[in-house]
Chain A
């Protein structure tokens, strides 16, 4: 039997933001309701001072946040490489 143990949250070493084709950009319509944070699969949204903040180091650009925001406060733009 082979066993292995590792520490919590070591995944942070791996920056999944490099996977992204489209970048979610937050505009002034945002009121910090947090819907996008609940649905982001990649734990890269935080709500600070009633505003959605996206961590582009990890955001994979799936577009769920933009699709679910009822205030149309997130727009997806093609990533310029």
Chain B
């Protein structure tokens, strides 16, 4: 893989919160893709903080239409490029709400049509742009404004949807998970999509200082802990090849991860502590299932 030396395709002056994980993801993703790329974004934080009118931070062609239809817009862009016999990577960059929930049907159609598009979900595990509402990517036990922890509840009751498995069920050509805390791995995976013709899905774990409640300097530290505890498995599946999983030598107890974040604060002591044990069980299951 040849990456242009520290090429930066996300201009300064964008309006993400200080320490935003999604902004870090954008910089790494664009570096791996290079200039010959057309990006389609769904409504969400990334779309909002990069595109006040006249002040776009994008240095590649970029289009936004609605919250639910980024895969459909990308499908049209890709079909047009194909007709014109022009070669450019067509890439969707959408949040977890736009991917796991409202845009899932459009994405499924794009996968079914076997279109040559890379769909990247930056997963900050809730609807952040509208004030931290729970999505189907919000993890079990985490508190959001629509899954609030309190005397009557321990936070989100449902488990996180396994979106990469749903993508795999479409028999797409490439599925990977990644984290901004491991930029070389992330950029390698994104660069690989340029060599594969067909639909591809990458899910990038992007800690959010505001929605998760941690100090802006800790974004990468938290991202690492999510992987080191086994809560967020990092792997890739190339069609016809066995899954490759990122191994973790010294696994950490999930409490190390939870204790840094306000969204899990209610699990640290008292009667809801057994929910933390259940989150540890999710990690243990991941470690076994993926061979982490």
Nearest residue in A to B16 (C-beta to C-beta)?
A41
Q: Assess whether B53 is in contact with A9, with CB atoms less than 8 Å apart.
A: no
Q: Which of B2-32 contact A (CB under 8 A)?
A: 6, 8, 10-16, 18-21, 23-24, 27-28
Say if the beta carbon of A81 comes within 8 Å of chain B: no
Contact of A6 among B6, B16, B23, B53 (CB under 8 A): B53
Flag if A38 contacts B12 (CB, 8 Å): no
Considering the complex, give the chain A residue whose CB is closest to the CB of B49.
A11
Interface string of A50-79 (1 = CB under 8 A from B): 000001011011111011100000001000
Taking CB atoms, residues of chain B closer than 8 Å to A9 are 11, 56-59
B221 in contact (CB, < 8 A): yes
Residue B94 at the chain A interface, CB threshold 8 Å: no
**What is the distance, in angstroms, from A61's C-beta to the closest C-beta of chain B?**
6
Q: Does A80 contact B (CB under 8 A)?
A: no
| Secondary structure dominating the interface of A | loop
Contacting pair B56 A64 (CB below 8 A): no
With an 8 A cutoff between CB atoms, is A30 at the interface? no
Q: Does B268 contact A (CB under 8 A)?
A: no
Give Cα A46 to B180, complex, Å.
19
Nearest CB in chain A: distance from B206 CB, A: 10
Q: Which of B176-208 contact A (CB under 8 A)?
A: 180, 183
Docked CA distance A9–B62 (Å): 12
Q: In the assembly, what is the distance between CA of A42 and CA of B215, in Å? A: 16
Q: Which residues in A have their C-beta under 8 angstroms from that of B60?
A: 8
Residues of B within 8 A of A39 (CB): 24, 180, 183, 219-220
B145 interface contact, C-beta 8 A: no
In the complex, the answer to whether A60 meets B18 with C-beta atoms within 8 Å is: yes
State how many residues of chain B have any CB contact under 8 Å with chain A. 36
Query: A39 to B20, alpha carbons, bound, how many Å?
Result: 10
- Chain B residues within an 8 Å CB radius of A60: 18-19
User: Are the CB atoms of A34 and B6 closer together than 8 Å?
Assistant: yes
With A10-B56, A61-B18, A64-B19 as known contacts, state yes or no: A16 contacts B12, CB within 8 Å: yes
Q: Specify which chain A residues have a CB less than 8 angstroms from the CB of B217 in the assembled complex.
A: 62-64, 66-67, 76
A-chain residues with CB within 8 Å of residue B19 when the two chains form the complex: 41, 60, 62-64
Q: Which residues of A contact B (CB under 8 A)?
A: 4, 6-16, 19-20, 34, 37-44, 46-47, 55, 57-58, 60-64, 66-68, 76
Known: A13-B13, A61-B18, A67-B220. 18 other contacts (CB 8 A): A7-B56, A9-B59, A11-B14, A11-B52, A14-B13, A15-B13, A19-B18, A39-B183, A39-B219, A41-B19, A41-B24, A41-B219, A62-B18, A62-B19, A62-B217, A64-B217, A66-B217, A67-B217
In the complex, 16 of the A-B residue pairs with CB atoms within 8 angstroms, ordered by the A residue number, are A6-B56, A9-B11, A9-B57, A10-B56, A11-B50, A39-B183, A41-B20, A41-B219, A42-B12, A43-B12, A46-B6, A58-B12, A62-B216, A62-B217, A63-B215, A63-B216
A-B complex: 10 closest residue pairs judged by Cβ atoms: A63-B217, A11-B13, A58-B12, A41-B23, A62-B19, A9-B11, A62-B18, A11-B57, A60-B18, A62-B216
